[in-house]
Structure 1
Amino acid sequence: MTDISAWIGRSEEVHDQLSRNLLMRIAATFGETTPAYGEALPPLWQWCFFQEPIAESGLGEDGHPARGGFLPPADNRNRMWAGGRVEFLRPLEAGGEARRVSTIKHIEEKHGRTGALLFVTVQHDYLQDGRLAIREEQDIVYREPSPPKTSSGEPMVAGGWREAVTPTPTLLFRYSAVTFNGHRIHYDWPYVTEAEGYAGLVVHGPLIATLNLRAFCRANPDARLRRFAYRGLRPLIAPQPFEVGGRIVASGKAELWAGDHNGLAQKAEVEFD
């Protein structure tokens, strides 16, 4: 049996250029203007960079990188991006070179209603010109195959701002492309419905978080982001429309959410100046 605790402390470093070509494709995916050279990347666009170009032979059946590389192996459990926390220290600038240093900080085994769960926390430090720009903790969960959750039991929240989103298959495919994400639940209908039991294509958790934070920035254009924390509650299924929204709850603090007629799917908090 593999000692998964041996993965704690593992680290890897990836260098990338925040190139105009990829920025143009990200901007087209979100319907935004491409940042000019030297301008700040919009929040969470760093997730589209620093992706290792893993060969087809290095992927598992689900389209994720095969188990047991940088991340620990987890038998045949499904891997999901469960949430995370992001601290914004300074902007990453378009066109420049940058690097991401990733370290496995924590691994924990739990048992829930759906069986054995493995939680992995990875810290990502994004640096440019030798200075730390963004520090992030990403929570990954491995769970045994089980019927997907269709409702969080938490109703949508009223008040504040809100934006409607229609997650078309094209949007999901293009976001998978700009993040070099091969996970088949986002674009392969037979696989996601037959092998994993979802009702349709699954909207990426980080895509929801990006749209959520963008809605906050649109509603609060003078806010300077400090911290962003988000947590997935259940999947959203394309092309079912959903909403992202939020409200100010205190000076420098806001609550954000995303969901549809089945209730909340993601909750988030923002700290800002």
Structure 2
Amino acid sequence: MIDIKHLQDWQGRGETRDDLIAAFPANALAATLDRDDKEYRIGDALPPLWHWLHFLPIHKLGESGYDGHAALGGFLPPVPLPRRMWAGSRLEFLAPVTIGRSAHKRSTVKSVTHKSGRSGDLVFVTVTHDVYEDQKHCIREEQDIVYRALPDPNVPTPTPPHAPTSCDFSRKIVPEPVLLFRYSALTFNGHRIHYDHPFCVGTEGYGGLVVHGPLLATLMLDLLRREYPAAKVTHFNFRALAPVFDTQQFSVHGTCANNGEIELWVAREDGALAMQGTAQIKDKT
């Protein structure tokens, strides 16, 4: 049984991290995404979402949990459910994060809630992140983390919704293990579902290595940047609907809506809608 009142004692808990925004992570991610960007240097602005390569929590190897994440009970509450996934985020890009500058991130546990679904108990933890350079507020983010039980083999897996079949632009992605390895390394993500196939399939019951949720979100905005290189993203929100595995290629899609909005989504090869989001842009042309 989930003791939600105990877990809610973590609401309001905060932590801060400082980082010097170096050029190497941006250049490494550009190479990982097969971009033809010029070399990122001091003074350049980070592309949207690339701040996720910074302010990384570092824990000793001996402090890892069974799944490779840091053991719970510190900043995040000790939710007694084994599966942990990044369910979505809502971001506002207020000012550029600049390579070569020192930056500061403040994180706070906003809420902890419990739900019961067809697959069992679900615990949602929402965390706010605010990124500053000096006193300049650069990024405001709310991140949703979902915890759930291991799948019951006697309960059918819910069928994800179908992805839209028409779009204005798209790109196919082959989720080879090197892509997942590089992104795990760049984000210091030790979660074993992204690289340990026996653990991912045999212990957590997935259909293959899991493509990182933030990588899918990054690929959605990367697609937007390829289509509209001069556009400035001011807002972006996304939510994950179904896992993407390394066993099948997937595709990223976009379509233009009204008032500078771009609808973005990730479609699995079987037609399932894996992630959807909306970006607000300006200066598209």
The aligned amino acid for 2:276 is K
Deviation at 1:122, TM superposition (A): 0.4
Q: Is the 8 A contact 1:86 1:227 kept in 2?
A: yes
1:26 alignment partner in structure 2: 29
SS at match of 1:64: coil
2:234 alignment partner in structure 1: 226
Supply the distance in 2 between the matched residues of 1:110 and 1:151 (Cα, whole angstroms): 19
Identity %: 43
1:208 alignment partner in structure 2: 216
- For the structure 1 residues 224 and 24, does the alpha-carbon distance in structure 2 shift closer, same or farther, using more than 3 Å as the test? closer
Cα distance per residue 1:119-171 (max 9 Å; x no partner): 01100001112211011000000111116957412233312110111111000
- The TM-score normalised by the length of structure 1 is 0.95
The aligned amino acid for 1:21 is F
Q: 1:193 aligns with which of 185, 194, 201?
A: 201
Q: Which moved more, 1:244-253 or 1:175-184?
A: 244-253
Q: Which moved more, 1:58-67 or 1:144-153?
A: 144-153
1:88 alignment partner in structure 2: 93
1:99 alignment partner in structure 2: 104
Q: Is the 8 A contact 1:150 1:235 kept in 2?
A: no
2:249 alignment partner in structure 1: 241
Deviation at 1:106, TM superposition (A): 1.2
The aligned amino acid for 2:234 is R
1:261 alignment partner in structure 2: 269
Supply the distance in 2 between the matched residues of 1:168 and 1:145 (Cα, whole angstroms): 25
The aligned amino acid for 1:159 is C
Deviation at 1:58, TM superposition (A): 1.1
Deviation at 1:226, TM superposition (A): 1.0
2:279 alignment partner in structure 1: 270
Q: Which moved more, 1:28-37 or 1:108-117?
A: 28-37
Supply the distance in 1 between the matched residues of 2:247 and 2:132 (Cα, whole angstroms): 36
- The TM-score normalised by the length of structure 2 is 0.92
Does residue 63 (structure 1) correspond to residue 68 (structure 2)? The answer is: yes
2:43 alignment partner in structure 1: 38
Supply the distance in 2 between the matched residues of 1:92 and 1:258 (Cα, whole angstroms): 26
Cα distance per residue 1:223-258 (max 9 Å; x no partner): 221110000000000141111011011121111100
In the alignment, structure 1 segments of 5+ residues that lack a partner are none
The aligned amino acid for 1:271 is Q
Does residue 179 (structure 1) correspond to residue 187 (structure 2)? The answer is: yes
Does residue 4 (structure 1) correspond to residue 13 (structure 2)? The answer is: no
SS at match of 1:257: strand
1:54 alignment partner in structure 2: 59
Deviation at 1:17, TM superposition (A): 1.0
Q: Is the 8 A contact 2:21 2:103 kept in 1?
A: yes
SS at match of 1:255: strand
SS at match of 2:257: strand
Q: Is the 8 A contact 2:254 2:262 kept in 1?
A: yes
The aligned amino acid for 2:20 is Q
Q: 2:20 aligns with which of 17, 25, 30?
A: 17
Cα distance per residue 1:41-64 (max 9 Å; x no partner): 111111111112100111100011
Supply the distance in 2 between the matched residues of 1:251 and 1:154 (Cα, whole angstroms): 26
The aligned amino acid for 1:167 is P
Q: Which moved more, 1:167-176 or 1:255-264?
A: 255-264
Q: Is the 8 A contact 1:150 1:234 kept in 2?
A: no
In the alignment, structure 2 segments of 5+ residues that lack a partner are none
2:160 alignment partner in structure 1: 152
Deviation at 1:21, TM superposition (A): 3.0
Aligned residues: 273
Q: Is the 8 A contact 1:149 1:235 kept in 2?
A: no
User: Alignment RMSD, CA only?
Assistant: 1.6
